[in-house]
Amino acid sequence: MAKQIKKQNLPTKVCQTCGRPFSWRKKWERDWDNVKYCSDRCRTSKGSAS
């Protein structure tokens, strides 16, 4: 059985577009080092930082 990690202990990053913190997600498991944006919306509007 897999070792469970509490949500409060997950690694976090700050989105390069909106500046909001976001947490690790299972779908980013293999590519966490390259994740820069919190969502598809931020990724597609990466040129217009607010």
Q: Give me the residue spans of the domains in the chain.
A: 11-43
Nearest Cα to Cα of residue 48 among 28, 21, 19: 19
Distance of alpha carbon 5 from alpha carbon 34, whole angstroms: 21
Residues 6+ positions from 12 with CB-CB distance below 8 Å: 21, 22, 23, 24
Report the Cα 26 to chain-centroid distance in Å.
Answer: 10
pLDDT at 8: 77
pLDDT tens profile 24-40: 999 998 999 999 999 99
Distance of alpha carbon 41 from alpha carbon 2, whole angstroms: 32
Rg (CA), the chain: 12
Q: What is the mean pLDDT of residues 13-32?
A: 93
Reported confidence tier of residue 7, pLDDT bands at 50, 70, 90: confident
